[in-house]
Chains A and B, each alone.
Chain A
Amino acid sequence: MRRKKGTLIPIEVSILQAAVDLAMAGQAQFHGFMLAKEIKDRDGAKLLTAHGTLYKALDRLQRWGFLENEWEDPVVAAQESRPRRRFYWITPAGQAALAKALAADVSTANLQQQPGPATS
């Protein structure tokens, strides 16, 4: 998908929105699969977000400072006999970017709902 300058593409908005939803549900830190599941449940999608799409977007959001991340302590993962998780959380800059993207969406939707000029 081609990006308009200074805007977020839908997968990035979905990730930030899911991050906020998870934080409000008491899960401020999340890993990739948890996020994919949250997006699927929220959007009512049939499929989980593809690996490439999800992790590429996470990488970008993190480089822009909208998400922070930290690898889990390997000892904890070893105790639970599973691979190490990489936890992400949304930053204030990410929240601001999300708010801006949602506001832009609302104003676009409002413009589309307005009746056009009479052409008769």
Chain B
Amino acid sequence: MSARTGRGALDLATSAARAWTAFYTWRLPAEFRDDRRSEIECDLWEHREFARLVDEPAWRTAAGLVLRVVLGMSADLSWRMEVAAIGHSADRSESMNPESNVVRALAWCSHILVGLLALASLGAIITGTAAGDASWAIMGGVPLVASVPIIYGLSRSASRQPLAIILVVSGCLAITSFWYWLFMFTIPASAGLIALSYYRGKRGGWRTGTPKLSG
């Protein structure tokens, strides 16, 4: 392997390590996130510098870096869960709102499912438009538009009620009534989404997101 290719691989490995760190620290409390990112940045620099001093081939350093990232991934994720739990327990004094991992996982899964629905709808619009069939564009357009308030409502359901639940309900109603012949799927799915957003809002103490001014 040429030196240039090796250096390219090393740069790529460094970028991958940074991207992974940015990913698993995303939306963590700032003190944990910034400390971990700075610490990994320092480690990457020291690792590369040490490899340069001992004349290690760049491809070998790149492979070592990738292995260090990959072998530590499960620890990174479990650290994230620990730290998120600490962050939540710190928030508890303000909101009394510890959200369980199950609820968070359900919220993530719901986002992904509704996102997939939106993508499928977009695909239907593109296919219909390409084929000159307007009915496909309408079939895709309504769920695509309805999925936007559902996704936004779900993402804000823990912090901004009752707006969030209104958005989720309206989006679900639009999809359920438009695809009425699929009621055996749309009704339970809608009920689940509404229940989830209601539950998250209830745990969040029905905060409106608007700070109350005292005095």
Contact = CB atoms under 8 A, between A and B. Distances in A.
Interface of A: 31-34, 36-37, 47-56, 59, 71, 82-86
B36 A84 contact: no
Nearest to B70: A50
Interface of B: 17, 21, 35-36, 38-43, 45-47, 49-50, 64, 67-79
Name the prevailing secondary structure of the B interface residues.
helix
Q: Which 6 A-B pairs have the closest CB atoms?
A: A52-B72, A50-B72, A52-B75, A33-B46, A52-B76, A50-B71
A32 B42 contact: yes
Contacts of B41: 83
Contacts of A83: 38, 41-42, 45
B67 A50 contact: yes
Contact of B42 (A31, A37, A48, A53): A31
A74 B38 CA distance: 12
Q: Which of A33, A37, A82 has the most CB of B within 10 A?
A: A33
Nearest to B32: A59
B49 A82 contact: yes
A86 B76 contact: no
Contacts of A34: 46
Contact of B79 (A37, A48, A55, A84): A55
22 contacts: A31-B43, A33-B42, A33-B43, A36-B43, A49-B68, A51-B17, A51-B72, A52-B69, A52-B73, A52-B74, A52-B75, A52-B77, A53-B75, A55-B39, A56-B75, A56-B76, A82-B42, A82-B45, A83-B38, A83-B41, A83-B42, A84-B42
Contacts of A50: 67-72, 75
A82 B42 CA distance: 8
